[in-house]
Amino acid sequence: MKEFLWSPYQFVFLGSFLLLYLAENQFKWNRKTVLGASAFVALSLSIYLFGPNLKAKWWLIDDHEIFYFLKSKDSQSSWLQYFYILLNQTEVGNFGNSQRYRSSYYFLRVFETLLWKDNPLLWYSFRLGIAALFSFSILKLLTKYFSFSLSFLFLLSVFSLRYWSDIFSRMATSETYAVLGISLILIGISNFRNQSSNSLWTYVSIAVGVMIAEGAKENFLIFICIPLLILFLERKTLKTWSSKVVLTVPIVYGGSILLSLYLFFRKVQVDIYGNSTKASDRLSVFLNYLNNELVIGCMILIGILIILIVFYSIKFRKYSVSFPELIPFFFFGLLLINILFYNGSWPTNSRYDFPGLLGYQCVIAFTVYLIVSKILDLAKVTLPEKNFVANLILIFFLCSFTPLSSITNLQRDSRINMKRTQEFTSFLNVFLADKSDRFIIFYVNQAFDFEPVDSFLRFLNYYEDARHRMLIVTKSEAESKFKNGLLNYLRTVSKDGSVERKILPFDSKALKGKPCILLLFPPASLQDAPNIPECKDVDIKLVPFQ
């Protein structure tokens, strides 16, 4: 019974948006007022949700790459090193020879590195700006067709999902740049005028946004459809060569990314996650996933819409489908592509849920709107009344599926990120302040210790820590071939050392009578520490990063 009951907060929530909608209609807000309110809401909401990150510091995972790039420069003030780092330290220089080809991600990441350097405040401020721009772009587009109150409510429903914490409460995710790209696309589309001339800057905004998104991560390559669709729809009205060239550039750029991936996977048919990339294997996983409730829910709603469209066409003898009625299929395709991309292991309650779950939300909300509109059309309701009723129904619908607690969870996650990064940075500073000659011994307790060990080494290299380093790897075997491959690689590093990481070959004789620091990484505990009898004394430290 309880699952059917609304909490008092939901009634207050609904009442607030109904009053806002009535006020909006009563006072006839003009476009400038709506855009001003949109900008205020976008900035305020972003500060509320992600503002605590402005006090955050460095984190062990991913942030180390910033220091790796900075250390790769010959001069801390020289921008000439930009292309050297890009071509020699990232996937950009490995065309056709890498499982990933996220060129836009590294273009922007290296650019940010040289711009913000080792100042976490600037890094998080930029991410807060992206969140505000994304929020504004949604409101700017939606308020062109719907009420401000409904658009605001949809924005809140978008931020009711937890994966946003994993995007904006971290520095190094490719999804952050994809959000930037999508923001530019939405702004461009909001300025787009169908069947009339558009400003070149409208096309530039869309083209740049598509390039950023498709080059941020491979599952965003679907956005190449947008410039293709515009070129097709405006094939007769698009007369200027400059506009055609601008829209063609992201298509060629996306094609180059696809070519790089094709050249690699033609040789190696396993992706970065260890999954087969064979079409038959992916199709098998995909078909097995079609009984998922997310997919079934979308298919049912789209099925209802199709039935109503057919019924409307027969009744009024208008055998055509409007462009808005095709939009749910794009978002449904976005959902399916993410399922396929992550080999069915999705959703994950992390940044990998973007943009798939956003596509799901858009399918549901927009299809419900189209269903309501089509029913009102069948009832021959006049346009003003139709818009009023449709907005009211959507407000009730979204209020039912937008839990306020989920939105406040994002703010809580930002505070958690602030505290955990402060804890790790404090640990790192104390560790670096130790100028003794103690040996640093890294202990690998499991295969996935590979990343935290490598990350910590990057920090030590950047700060030029001169202490000797060695590596000990567990003798236990892992449960998969992929994990055993990581462990075997680390065992080789332990045996032979690594010049790049400044790790010495493990030599128990060299430790005899020497003081040592033993570093462990969660989920390992202090009880998992190996015995190193050769050391004079061992200071066991657990690196805080989880």
pLDDT beyond 50 at 221 = yes
The reply to whether 442 and 369 lie within a common domain is no
Q: Give pLDDT, residue 239.
A: 72
Q: What is the pLDDT of residues 117-147, one digit of tens each?
A: 999 999 999 999 999 999 999 999 999 999 9
Q: Is 300 exposed, middle or buried (0-12, 13-18, 19+ CB in 10 A)?
A: exposed
* Percent helix / strand / coil, the chain, rounded to 5: 65, 5, 30
Label residue 405 by pLDDT band (50, 70, 90).
confident
Query: Which of 357, 386, 415 is the endpoint of a domain?
Result: 386
Q: Which residue has the tokens 């989880």?
A: 546
User: Is 105 inside a domain boundary?
Assistant: no
pLDDT beyond 80 at 78 = no
DSSP 8-state symbol, 173: -
| 3-state class (DSSP) for residue 319 | coil
Query: Which of 353, 369, 386 is the endpoint of a domain?
Result: 386
User: Is 496 inside a domain boundary?
Assistant: yes
Cα separation, 51 vs 37, whole angstroms: 20
pLDDT beyond 80 at 5 = no
User: Is 344 inside a domain boundary?
Assistant: yes
Better-scored residue on pLDDT, 29 or 273: 29
Q: Find the mean pLDDT for residues 379-406.
A: 91
The residues, ordered by sequence, that sit 6+ positions from 55 with a Cβ below 8 Å of its Cβ are: 418, 422
Q: How many structural domains are present in the chain?
A: 2
Q: Find the mean pLDDT for residues 420-443.
A: 96
Query: Which of 347, 365, 386 is the endpoint of a domain?
Result: 386
Q: Find the mean pLDDT for residues 33-44.
A: 97
Better-scored residue on pLDDT, 75 or 425: 425
The reply to whether 459 and 382 lie within a common domain is no
| 3-state class (DSSP) for residue 503 | strand
pLDDT beyond 90 at 428 = yes
Q: Is 0.85 surpassed by the pTM of this model?
A: yes
Phi, psi of 471 (to 5 degrees): -135, 130
Label residue 283 by pLDDT band (50, 70, 90).
confident
Quote the tokens at residue 374.
């089509």
Mean residue pLDDT of the chain comes to: 92
User: Is 321 inside a domain boundary?
Assistant: yes
Nearest to 108 by CA among 238, 27, 211: 211
| 3-state class (DSSP) for residue 444 | strand
Q: Give pLDDT, residue 331.
A: 96
Cite the DSSP H helix spans in 322-480.
327-341, 356-378, 383-400, 404-433, 450-462
CB 465 within 8 A of CB 432: yes
User: Is 473 inside a domain boundary?
Assistant: yes
Label residue 470 by pLDDT band (50, 70, 90).
very high
Share of the chain above pLDDT 90, in %: 75
Q: Which residue has the tokens 């094609």?
A: 255
User: Is 368 inside a domain boundary?
Assistant: yes
Q: Give pLDDT, residue 1.
A: 44
DSSP 8-state symbol, 276: B
User: Is 329 inside a domain boundary?
Assistant: yes
E strand intervals along 84-183:
none
Q: Find the mean pLDDT for residues 67-72.
A: 86
Q: Give pLDDT, residue 323.
A: 87
Which residue range(s) make up the domain with 450?
A: 435-542
